[in-house]
Structure 1
Amino acid sequence: MAVHWFTSDTHFGHKGILSPRMDRPRPFASIEEHDEVQISRWNDRVRDEDIVWHLGDFAYGGGHGYARSVFDRLRGRKHLVVGNHEGQGLRLPWAAPPVQACQIHVQDPGMPRAQGVWLSHYGHRTWPNVWRGDIHLYGHSHGSLPGTARSLDVGVDSWGYRPVRLSEIQEVLDETAAREAGDAVASAMSAAA
């Protein structure tokens, strides 16, 4: 059975992503190393039959031919939620036409029920069906926008330069929810004192 994977901001071919002028420069000696590490880590996790949701900024600056050569090496049935650096990425043979944002339901093996997920390149404060328990996954912030108990950055900067499964995401969301609940109790006790 297929597994869903999520990732964002791979920036294949983007030499500027390594620049010390970036807020969070990536720790690679060259763009070739950057790209090869990401390709390897992607393919170590994703099987050909798996579904990968890429939440934008797939490639930048390397040209369409280079973006296509990387795309063809990556395993899985790949979908694109459009980011702000999508020049070469829009013309790649995605499993479905690229979208600006979308709502999906994921029920991977071992999950007792489907989970609603709102996907966007950008982090939102609210999203469709948030009050029904749907979560929100985003990229763009390169790990600088903290998640909440219901939303999380799935960009490669936050996940060791690799795609992440919903079960891993849920663990982080649960930890954040527990921390937020503890903070709320401590704040209420402090206010009552």
Structure 2
Amino acid sequence: MNYFISDTHFYHYQLLEPNDFAPRHFKDGDAMNQAMIDAWNARVDDNDTVYHLGDISMRPQNTPTDAETFAMLDQLKGHMILIKGNLDYWSLFKYLAKHNKMMADGVPRFRFEDVGALLKFDHMQFYCTHYPMLLGRVQQILNLHGHIHHYSVPVAENINICVDAPGKRLLE
């Protein structure tokens, strides 16, 4: 099974404060992180693939180390295709690649995309990107994206899969 998620912002404790950006209602950052881990692992198994469309982790003014983010991702089930978001750094992707491991099926745990991934299923195309794309008049093409957190682009072909997207519960 394929799953899609964006903007987990692990460690981003400032999202716990009242804000208009992406308020998350948890008692602390550890509770927020654990809720996302629990919800992810309740849905995903090691045979699944999760497309993470960017902004994996963030700790304002004290960015989590690459090792800390690796330790967080290592708790999650499934293969991960990681698409770079505006808060993700190449140093993280290089660290993850260096510490990547083979899963039981012989496929590496992490794979990486710089801008996005194009997927084709059942006569449909899915552009998986961090930022929303305005594709113009299209048929059979959807843009799965994150980045904008608390609102959606008013275009039917753009689907905001951010954990904070309107009408969604954290990792439904």
**TM-score under structure 2 normalisation?**
0.80
Gap change, CA 1:24 and 1:14, over 3 Å in 2: closer
CA displacement at 1:101 relative to structure 2: 1.6
The residue aligned with 1:97 is 112
The residue aligned with 1:84 is 86
The residue aligned with 2:46 is 48
CA separation in 2, counterparts of 1:14 and 1:82? 17
The residue aligned with 2:71 is 69
CA separation in 2, counterparts of 1:4 and 1:40? 18
**Which amino acid in the other structure matches residue 100 of structure 1?**
V
8 Å CA contact 1:8–1:54 kept in 2: the answer is yes
CA displacement at 1:22 relative to structure 2: 4.7
Structure 1 unaligned residues grouped into runs of 5+: 107-112, 164-193
The residue aligned with 2:164 is 157
Aligned with 2:117: secondary structure? Answer: strand
1:116 counterpart = 2:125: yes
The residue aligned with 2:106 is none
What are the within-5 Å matches in structure 2 for residues 123-134 of structure 1?
A: 123-126=132-135, 131-134=138-141
Aligned with 2:15: secondary structure? Answer: helix
Q: How many residues align?
A: 153
CA displacement at 1:89 relative to structure 2: 4.2
CA displacement at 1:147 relative to structure 2: 4.9
Worse-matched range after superposition: 91-100 or 152-161: 91-100
Which consecutive segments of 4 or more residues in structure 1 shift more than 4 A?
none
8 Å CA contact 1:143–1:153 kept in 2: the answer is no
Worse-matched range after superposition: 47-56 or 154-163: 154-163
> Over residues 88-121 of structure 1, what are the superposed CA-to-partner deviations in whole Å (9 max), with x where a residue is unaligned?
6423245323321221123xxxxxx253100110
CA separation in 2, counterparts of 1:23 and 1:30? 17
**TM-score under structure 1 normalisation?**
0.72
CA displacement at 1:18 relative to structure 2: 1.7
8 Å CA contact 2:10–2:57 kept in 1: the answer is yes
CA displacement at 1:131 relative to structure 2: 2.5
1:18 counterpart = 2:25: no
Greater Cα radius of gyration, structure 1 or 2: 1
CA separation in 2, counterparts of 1:78 and 1:29? 28
CA separation in 1, counterparts of 2:79 and 2:170? 19
**Which amino acid in the other structure matches residue 68 of structure 1?**
F
1:136 counterpart = 2:134: no
Greater per-residue strand proportion: 2
The residue aligned with 2:105 is none
- RMSD of aligned residue pairs (Cα, Å): 2.0
Identity of aligned residues (%): 26
CA separation in 1, counterparts of 2:38 and 2:151? 25
